[in-house]
Amino acid sequence: MRAAFELFTVQGYEGTTVDDITAAAGVSRRTFFRYFPSKEDVIFPDHDSVLDRVRWYLGASANTEPVFAVAEAARLIFESFVATPEQTLARYRLTREVAVLRDREVASVARYERVLSDYLRSRLPKTSEAALAAHVAAASFVAAHNQVLREWLRSGGATDPHPALDVALTTVADLITPLIARSSRQSSQSTV
Amino acid sequence: MRAAFELFTVQGYEGTTVDDITAAAGVSRRTFFRYFPSKEDVIFPDHDSVLDRVRWYLGASANTEPVFAVAEAARLIFESFVATPEQTLARYRLTREVAVLRDREVASVARYERVLSDYLRSRLPKTSEAALAAHVAAASFVAAHNQVLREWLRSGGATDPHPALDVALTTVADLITPLIARSSRQSSQSTV
DNA sequence: TGATGTCTGTCACTCAGTGCCACTATGGTT
DNA sequence: AACCATAGTGGCACTGAGTGACAGACATCA
């Protein structure tokens, strides 16, 4: 991974072959593909584990307030990026330039969003209003997360991003809570 | 494209080589790659043109109410999918099964979202509050759009999706409008 | 000493995608 | 009629990602 990042920043992503990486790392080509399913995956090593952690967290928060749980899940994702600033920054620089990597990043963000909306849907009545609310809520939290993260990355990771994250998450929570509450009530309303 | 879709549905995406497609279509391999930058692009032919149309629409709506304009832009995207139901349905079935294609779809949705949020940011003061509002708003509209589209596709494209789209867009518009209004005022507030 | 399992390297192969060159058909020019 | 420009196409060779099969190295345990 270290060899790959160094080569990517010098030669660019497309300008670096897997052979280059393995030669620099002193392993064989075959070994590389045993540890990374594809060349792109060298850059996104821990997305799966974070996704699992988020799933686990949400699975354990069946009794907490749904909107709060989702906000905390977003915070969890955020922390996983902030925990390794150099790596996150290097990845950010690469994903800005290389379209394939940006698409990959976007895809993994979409997976986070999916996990959040699935959780919300599981906590809400099975109406189309609730489904809409769940998707909008998940998308809003992810958007807030992304916005704060991007701003932080653009600043070079210098400042403490947590105050901004708090503001963003509470803003979205305040926005979303009534929508979720309304869609939860919807079912009891139809029963009445 | 027709040959490709037929082969994809029979043999699967990964099970179909470009050679298969070109043989079925009666053209050479080289010709294929002149029309489609990659194998994936056979399935997403008109995303770029739709994106351009949305950009154009938003570029022309500098005087309309921003939230309304974004909602209409989302409707524009929606219409582009509904206009060709068979193709959209076939694509939907493929993207559900093949991860590469799903990621590709997600990436193009992200581009739509980007266009919407860029527009909103251009219509709002240059504060971080406004930037957050813009991203959340764009994400919410896209989420609403996606939700209605998915529901429609799951139903097999049988019902008329427009009533559901109207509901979803107005729901999001009602939700988002105060947020946008607040972030617009923010700048004049700081002047006071 | 032998059996087992894990990690690694080598080799050969498929397939996506690109660059280069040659061929053909068409339409317009003199 | 001969001449040219140009757009579309095919052929060919090449790079590079990714995979499957096999064999050797090494540590562990019996």
Phi and psi torsions of A88, nearest 5°: -65, -40
Q: What angle do CA A7, A21, A24 make, to 5 degrees?
A: 85
Indicate whether B180 pLDDT > 70: yes
Give which of B145, B128, B122 is closest to B66, Cα–Cα: B122
Do the chains contact at A175 and B136, CB–CB below 8 Å? Answer: yes
Phi and psi torsions of A161, nearest 5°: -80, -5
* pLDDT given for residue B47 in this prediction: 85
- Shortest CA–C1' contact from A28: which nucleotide? C9
Segment A77-96, tens digit of pLDDT? 999 999 999 999 999 999 99
The residue among A96, A98, A106 with the most chain B CBs within 10 A of its CB, best to mutate, is A106
CA/C1' separation A18–C19 (Å): 22
Report the SS3 class of residue A137.
helix
User: Cβ contacts (< 8 Å) between A110 and chain B: which residues?
Assistant: 106, 110
Interface size between A and B, measured as CB pairs under 8 A? 75
Q: Residues at the strand C interface (CB under 7 A)?
A: A 26-31, 34-35; B 16-19, 29-30, 33, 37-40
Facing residue for B147 by CB, picked from A102, A131, A172 = A131
Do the chains contact at A143 and B139, CB–CB below 8 Å? Answer: yes
SS3 sequence of B109-163 = HHHHHHHHHHHHHHHCCCCHHHHHHHHHHHHHHHHHHHHHHHHHHHCCCCCCCHH
CATH topology assigned to domain B2-41: Arc Repressor Mutant, subunit A (1.10.10)
Residue A172, exposed/middle/buried by CB under 10 A (0-12, 13-18, 19+)?
buried
* pLDDT given for residue B188 in this prediction: 46
User: Cβ contacts (< 8 Å) between B103 and chain A: which residues?
Assistant: 103-104, 106-107
The residue among A44, A140, A150, A186 with the most chain B CBs within 10 A of its CB, best to mutate, is A140
Segment B46-88, tens digit of pLDDT? 888 899 999 999 999 989 999 999 999 999 999 999 999 998 9
- Per-chain mean pLDDT for chain A: 93
Distance to chain B for A45, nearest Cα, Å: 17
* pLDDT given for residue A191 in this prediction: 43
List the domain boundaries for chain A: 2-41, 45-186
Indicate whether A189 pLDDT > 70: no
Whether the CB-CB separation of A152 and A81 falls below 8 Å is answered with: no
* pLDDT given for residue A49 in this prediction: 87
Whether the CB-CB separation of B82 and B88 falls below 8 Å is answered with: yes
Mean pLDDT of B170-189: 85
> Which residue of chain B comes nearest to A178, CA vs CA?
B175
Mean pLDDT of B95-115: 95
Distance between CA atoms of residues A137 and A139, nearest Å: 5
CA/C1' separation A30–C5 (Å): 19
* pLDDT given for residue A148 in this prediction: 97
Give which of A163, A165, A125 is closest to A145, Cα–Cα: A165
CATH topology assigned to domain A45-186: Tetracycline Repressor; domain 2 (1.10.357)
